[in-house]
Structure 1
């Protein structure tokens, strides 16, 4: 329950599917080169020292976000709120000490690294969740972290209320940091 007595809202399977479909559609609009870079990132061996190729997708992030913005034209306030709730949950789920150990960064830097992970799509997101070593040091996609909330505010004049009861900010996922805290006490 949230502090207002209402049930905490979690993303539905339909909302999550729509979220990932929008992200994937944005990438599809970028063409074969961008697709190849994403595949290479997912297929790489995180144990091998990279030669910086993992950052090649950075050049495609602004165009991706532009396409994502276009794909969201005409969405209602509720639809944008639902998408923001999914994004918030994805960022929260990545808010873990083991992911931070790979990405590094300040509180804001770690949030932006998690935005980068989500912006790369479901397959990469799931790869990092399963094996944090798949994450990339100092990756950054700040704009993705509040993408749908900003669209909502631009169109409807207010920040969306997701009702999730969670926080996307670094340290908001207490369970994601608890294991690291208990390991430090041992």
Structure 2
């Protein structure tokens, strides 16, 4: 990532980070780019920013915003930007994230998942923080395990770009008891469809 940042600086290219899913603590830092000791030129935010309300943000330095404010006028605006109720929800959500130290708990919670998700059908667990994937052997396993989980109260899905990986991305507020329950259901699903 640092090499990409360096190359963008050398060529005058803007480095844009889409943190719509990774932002607001999911990876164990408030923003995923913080893991790489770099700063993007443009930051795209949504989902976590609104605390459940529809909200999006386009974040950039004034110099960048000045270049794109014309031609077309306000061409960078977002459908979900700026609604007062959504902005109030975002403010409240960020306050909860900070006061309850939710970002600081992410790595410990991710480790609990990794410790409890032991099964031969899992080829690999990868990701950052609470944004993980379980690499399985086939789409049939992924499909059947995700269906089993849903039938037993655990919402899980797969990646469109990798049909052999289950997506594990719980809320920051997940408790240790909920992690234990979710992992037990996942492992039972893996046992059934291994």
TM-score in terms of structure 1 length = 0.24
Instruction: Specify which structure has the higher proportion of helix.
Output: 1
Structure number, greater radius of gyration: 2
TM-score in terms of structure 2 length = 0.23
Between the two structures, name the one with larger relative contact order (CA 8 Å, sep ≥ 6).
1
